[in-house]
A and B are shown apart, each in its own frame.
Chain A
Amino acid sequence: MQNAAFQEKFVEDGPQQVSFSATGGEYFRIWIVHVLLTIVTLGIYSAWAKVRSNQYFYSSTRLAGSSFEYHGNAMAILKGRVIAVLLLLGYQILSHISVSMSLLMLALLLGVTPLLLWKSLQFKLYNTSYRGIRFGFDGNASEAYTHFLLLPLLTITVVLTPFAHQRLKRWQHRRSRFGTSSFRFEAPVGKFYLVYAIMVGVALAAIVGLGLLAFAAQTSAQNLVWFALLFYVVMAALSPLFFTMIQNVIWNHTGLREHEFRCDMKWGGLLWIYFTNMLGIIVTLGLFTPFAKVRAMKYRLESMSMIVNGSLDGFVAAEQEQIGATGEGVADFADFDLSL
């Protein structure tokens, strides 16, 4: 028995699919207790709830036989959230008092947002580990301003949006590291332009198609409401299309040392999950929320795999200090999705 265990050879070489073993039922039980404690403590417990949920999700995520681990400190997250609340409250109050004050406050918020987002990325990655090695995020303040403030400004030109998106992702992935090894990102700008072009094409086709349909059906004013609704549903269906295409491009061009990543997300699969989740949440008055969250996470995570070239044994831990959680607190509140 002992020998068998010792002789076992890890066969990591080759494609390794990510597996996610969390279930909606188990997360529901965790979630409902967290909601109660969060309400009773007037929100204070939310920091501990976040840590517990993340620990559950991370330890349920396995790659090549090992699971991930979340190390976030609840007290640090609570401090971050308190600061975030004070910032947003201050903005709310000042914006009611006078226009100039609110503009000043808005400029101030916009000014610190890149820094906070950068800190949030650092916090997230530093507090994630795999095989006992922590992830990390480098970069500096001026890079943060370039990528979170200047690049978004480029989107005003519209035609430069795919370029800005590619540069943002390139920075985000190349500055991320596992231990001392930085990730590679080699997606060409052209692929981003292709995704955006397809989106514009599909959206235009949908608009023209619906318009012709409305015209052919001799739509009366009352039916127009239904067409507007149909239009909304069609447009909502396009967001998972964009998400799948862009995620596939991003991850299929990301690597770590000699290893590569693959992402094989399907529009139909994600669309089905989006719509059934929304329906479930409405019908159950929100009780389906934890199930919905697990379903969406499972689909996204299990679409990912790593093409391992040889073995995953050779990564080395980096020396690093703990990151403050203010950025994480603000990012939580502002609901930034940094994965896109």
Chain B
Amino acid sequence: MSVLDPNNGIAFRRPIRSVRWFGERVSHRLDMRTLSVCLVLLAVAVAIALVTLASGEYQVPLPDVVRALLGQAEGRIHMVVVEWRLPRTALALILGGALGMGGAIFQSLTRNPLGSPDIIGFDAGAYTGALVVIILMGGSYYAIAGGALIGGLVTALLVYALAYSRGVQGFRLIIVGIGVSAMLTSLNTWMLLRAKLEVAMAAAIWGAGTLNGLGLDRLGPAALILAVLVPLALLMSRPMAQLELGDDAARALGVNAERTRLGLLVLGVALTATVTATAGPIGFVALAAPQLARRITGTAGVSMVPSAAMGALLLAGADYLAQRAFAPTQLPVGIVTVSLGGVYFVWLLLREARRQ
């Protein structure tokens, strides 16, 4: 499919529109396919969210859901849709977006579709941190979130340090990450086995990653933090794409490679950590979303915005299944993402193995 830009003779093989506004003070190459894919993904994610808001033990007709969201519904419908269900569903959307974006950053930095934060040890480490807090200190939400953050960051640093040898190579990082992840997982199992039954149950549910029962008190802080992190990440998306050309080429083109990599690493960890602190480690969204988005948009390398849109769609869909698949039993959403993601992971490993 070769589409010529009507403005010039460059064939980008994609529908590209050059836009120039305000006497050329603003100019951009708009990729119409990426743009429309993002819009469709977001529309589907929002549609899933609306269905989720409508369904449940107390069914609300869709028009009433929309009315409730616009602030035009009364009493019971307003309470069910806006106060009970909306925070959780909104969390599914924004946390899914954060996971997709964080995954895109890690996969771009490692230049490997396996290089996502859940594979390279971050999730296992966060769980270890949370377990220590839950078992030793009982643990309020903030203590658990703090423990998870410290656990995740320490693990990320450990993996980085172990993989370091004259700079960090993507593949080393992944292998070391998988190893560290496996060790921490067995440590986590051991801690769970030693803990009292009720404590172990609560910890296990946190460890699966769940949105069950999350309300406005979690949505607020998460939304606020992401409102800061996401624009910062977007500012770095162009240097990130340049870095994919290799360090030498990127530096020769004026990218400060070390600073860019460090900044992206911090942002990727922060995006993922926000999700973990809010809802526990939700696996496989960060792994799958960037690659699925890349396949649909057909772009070179992974990119942040389509990955975020795909992540929002995946987590919203998984959360719908978590709530409705075995209703009235509510599954932790992490169980759904891991089951679906596992299939994807096997396929990815097979494909990578065939290619080597």
A and B form one complex: no
Q: Which residues of A contact B (CB under 8 A)?
A: none
